[in-house]
Amino acid sequence: MQRLHLVFGGELVDPSKSVFRNVDDLDIVGIFPNYEAAYNAWKAAAQRTVDNAHMRYYIAHLHRLRDEETEVSPTEELG
C-alpha cells in the first residue's frame, strides 16, 4: 500500500481548538509519498508562520482514510 500524506493548514478561530477561521483560505502545502517528506514540509510551513499564534499546520494520513480491500457501504458509493 502506498502511504500518502497531506500537509495543510490555516488560521484557527481559537488557538486551543482545531476550528479554521475560513476553510476557503486553507493552505494546501501538498501530498507527500512518505511521512518523512510530509514532516519536513509541515515543519517548513509551521516555521514560516511561527509569529501567528492562530496558524496551525497538520499532517493527514491519507492512506488511513480508505482501505481498498474493505467493502464499502452503499452511502460511500453515491454515484
pLDDT of residue 79: 47
Give the pLDDT confidence score for residue 78 in this predicted structure: 47
Tell me the whole-structure pTM to 2 decimals. 0.78
SS3 20: strand
Would you write out the chain's pLDDT as a tens digit for each of its 79 residues?
Answer: 688 999 999 999 999 999 999 999 999 999 999 999 999 999 999 999 999 999 999 999 988 876 666 665 555 444 4
CATH number, domain containing residue 26: 3.30.70.2400
Decide if 13 is inside a domain: yes
Does residue 73 form part of some domain?
Answer: no
- pLDDT of the residue at 2: 80
End-to-end Cα separation, the chain, in angstroms: 26
Whether residue 42 lies inside any domain: the answer is: yes
In a domain, 70, yes or no: no
Q: Which domain holds residue 12?
A: 5-60
In a domain, 68, yes or no: no
Whether residue 18 lies inside any domain: the answer is yes
Total domains in the fold of the chain: 1
